Structure 1
Amino acid sequence: MRSGTALREALFRLLERTTFEQLTVRDICAEAGVHYATFFRHYGGKEALLDDVAADQIARLVALTVPIKESGDDRGSILALCLYVEDHRTLWSVLLNGGAGETMRAEWLRVTRKVTGPAPTNSWLPAELGTICTTSLIVETISWWLRQDRGNWLPDAVAEIIHRLVMTSIASRAPAEGA
């Protein structure tokens, strides 16, 4: 699986310099030092490689954050997410703000739909729209954070921003009639 790892790492390096759309399989192979035919033993195309990377990173976030959230600690779950992203800042900067941003956002939303349960029946927001809005708030806040100079915003401050955004805009209940 050494060549698979080399291909993923080559993709990361290339995405730091160019957009995903501009990359070719030959570019990835040359950067990885892997034969062109070897690429296709691992992946059907560059999109499959990117999907694999996106799925792996989102799966890591889910494995890290969902158990915390299930314990009722929403803030702790968000903080764990921010700490992970900070620890892997270069990779996440490339994935969200480089040429892979669209794929990462789509994968994050796909996984979020899969792991979240239905919204409470008394919620003012349709469940599907709530999932989309919550995911978008989190992803776009992290994307913004990664464009800031390192150290300007610490993970706990970003987690607080995300928590407040989600809790005040998505998770809040509609005011009672006549209130």
Structure 2
Amino acid sequence: MRSGTALREALLRLLERRAFEQITVRDICAEAGVHYATFFRHHASKEALLDHVAADQMARLVELTMPIKESGDDRRAILVLCRYVEDHRVLWSVLLNGGAGATMRAEWLRYTRQVTGAANPDSWLPSELGTICTTSLIVETISWWLRQEKDAWPPDPIADIIHRLVTTSIASRGPIER
């Protein structure tokens, strides 16, 4: 267990200094103080380790935002999410725009499906499609934001953009005839 934690923390420290593509399994092991063979007892590859980090980050976002969302304050939940991403910008840039992009998007959608409430039967948008669209709006907006210059967009306006995108595009407008 300690080795697994050491490997995750080592990868995060290395990501602050270098691009994911420039990091080797040997680099991670050296940073973690773990033998090379130990790495492969925990992970099949450095990509698998990054996938594990992605899942950990999604769990952390859910932990931070769900109590706020459950209180009905979606805007504040989005703001907390954006501030967390900003505080961990290097990691999130790698997770969304680097080697774990596809995994991160799938993980985000999986978590969203888990925490989404009951479908609104009067909504014009099928529940599953609404979940996919909402998740995509959030993820792709954050991904875009992380590709911008560091101080070009602070978290607060990004949270406003996301909130407006989600509420104006997904808000109920009545059923669609089939």
Q: Is the shorter-chain TM-score for this pair beyond 0.5, marking a shared fold?
A: yes
- Mark the runs of 5 or more structure 2 residues left unpaired by the alignment: none
* Identity rate, percent: 78
Give the drift of 1:47: 4.8
* Bigger mean CA offset, 143-152 vs 36-45: 36-45
Match of 2:116 in 1: 116
In the alignment, structure 1 residue 133 sits paired with structure 2 residue 133 = yes
Mapping for residues 18-33 of structure 1, pairs under 5 Å: 18-19=20-21, 25-26=25-26, 28-30=28-30, 32-33=32-33
Which SS does the other structure have where 1:149 is aligned? Answer: coil
CA contact (8 A) 2:10 2:31 kept: yes
Which SS does the other structure have where 2:34 is aligned? Answer: coil
Between the aligned partners of 1:48 and 1:94, the Cα distance in structure 2 is: 14
Between the aligned partners of 1:57 and 1:171, the Cα distance in structure 2 is: 28
Q: How many residues align?
A: 175
Match of 2:166 in 1: 166
Which SS does the other structure have where 1:125 is aligned? Answer: coil
Between the aligned partners of 2:33 and 2:19, the Cα distance in structure 1 is: 18
* Bigger mean CA offset, 39-48 vs 145-154: 39-48
CA contact (8 A) 2:124 2:175 kept: no
Between the aligned partners of 1:14 and 1:122, the Cα distance in structure 2 is: 46
In the alignment, structure 1 residue 17 sits paired with structure 2 residue 11 = no
Match of 1:147 in 2: 147
Instruction: Please report the TM-score for the alignment, with normalisation by the length of structure 1.
Output: 0.85
Superposed CA deviations along residues 48-94 of structure 1, whole A, max 9, x for unmatched, are 42332111100111011111111111101111101111111111111
Superposed CA deviations along residues 77-119 of structure 1, whole A, max 9, x for unmatched, are 1111011111111111111111111111111111111111232
Instruction: Please report the TM-score for the alignment, with normalisation by the length of structure 2.
Output: 0.85
CA contact (8 A) 1:82 1:156 kept: yes
